[in-house]
Chain A
Amino acid sequence: MTGRRFFKNRLAWAGGTLLTLIALASVAAPALTSLKPDGQRLTERLRPPSRSHWLGTDDLGRDVGSRLLHGGRVSLRVGLVAVLISVVLGTLVGLAAGYFGGWVDGVLMRAVDIVLCFPTIFLILMVIAFLEPSLTNVMAVIGFTSWPGLARLVRGETLGLRERDFIWAARGLGLSAPRILFVHLLPHLVAPVLVSATLGVGGAILTESALSFLGLGVQPPTASWGNVLANGKDYLHVAWWLSLFPGAAILVTVLSLNMLGEGLRDTLDPRERS
């Protein structure tokens, strides 16, 4: 049933396919190109796309195609790990707040409000400025700042589920709170969390790109879509390929994640269907 609805949804189908291709290409990057992402050849600086360099070369003569393929591994990894952190945190906080209610709910939701008060990007910038910019820190910081929305979503779902008869019955049978939360409630949250996480990966990739663009994300010479793009801005008027391709990579990836997320929502969450 659910499966058939998903395959009927062309948008989700297209998003999923594109995303799979991008992910496969990134994972298989070393096999797809023999050119090293940080192999400099100063004699071949700023070459436009050609047979030997499909997507051109940058100011240090590095192959842009190779940098994007390898950068995809970094960007996708940041997206996945950051969202994983955010899903774990957000789900735990939301479950506890929604199920226990009372002061637990009050404290946790005020914490959510406080985190939401800060403009996320400035919070991240500040934290990164104190720590050193590195792949690990970028993933952690994005993960630890993006959970509040999910916590609210999970709390809302939990509030509704808590009053369902089978949860009352589970309490009437004397099951422990952790058992009810993780075995009886959690499976019912998979659909909304999955949808939110899919959309979240796109957001995290964008944030990583923005950070790297500002020089506070993934540090050169390691390639990420964000810092390839940032590098391109200095040569925008002489080498358009330096900016266009990483920009397109980010755009297509985030777009397909959003299409997939929307499709999943239509498929899994009957209430949102129109």
Chain B
Amino acid sequence: MAVDFGGIKMRNPINTAAGTFGQGWQFEPFIDVSELGAITTKGCAAEPWPGNPAPRMCEIPGGMMNSVGLQNPGVPAFAEESGPYLAELTDKGTQVICQVAGHSTEEYVRALELFCELCPWAAGFEINVSCPNIAAGGAACGSTPDGAAEVMRACRKVTDKPLIVKMAPVRVAEIARALEAEGADGLSVINSISGMAIDVHTRRSRLSKPTGGMSGPLCHHIAVRMVWEVANAVKIPVNGVGGVMTGEDAAEFILAGATCVSVGMANFVDPTASVRILRELEEWAASQGVSDINELRGAVIC
């Protein structure tokens, strides 16, 4: 089941979506986190961010919508609080990918420099140029090939470690090509999809902000299509993200061309979901008669 995600050697293809898995230790009462191939920690910036006011979440049919706004304690506090646990997790063989947040190219670079200095145990970093819930940075700079490429170019100068880019669900093939050209090692496809929910009785948004990011099963088939487009557009590996609730959902991403798969909202519904999905994916691979999951990557018949 081992895969190579842009230089991040994973013992199996199951990863977790940033922002849905805390820093990993929150799940230790429920599962042995070290069974997973990798975890991606919640996005962190150089300085602490307070995030958005309440309400930050509403439930929508087939998923949820959030406007957390990347609340985080800043890289130094993150490293101090969760570093020892994450270093131990790395020793046990689960790769830790730290997600990097920023409002500008300079802020992404500063956060990445701090990560490199304070989190030497990290297997790689995921640059989040696709958060739909912050006024500057995030999707505001990652939704065009030029904007995403600028951040990638600057971050590439900071480290030789694997750099993954979390992509917005727009213009994915052309943005993927631009990121590959700037030296990205892998791509996470997709971040949550911007949406809007209105309470018609109060006429207010159901979130503290007018819009939020939609995630969960409602996004899954959009994400599968985008993973397939990206996998066909670039040579660097893809991490499929979006509404994976079962091993078969994960298998769809692999067949569409993903090297690995992140479990997201399912972690909230069932904290044991990631390990269950790994077992189901193993069963599916066996049912396909292959001894190596890599044989099934991009094996969709169409």
Do A and B belong to a common assembly?
no
Binding site for A on B (CB under 8 A): none
Binding site for B on A (CB under 8 A): none
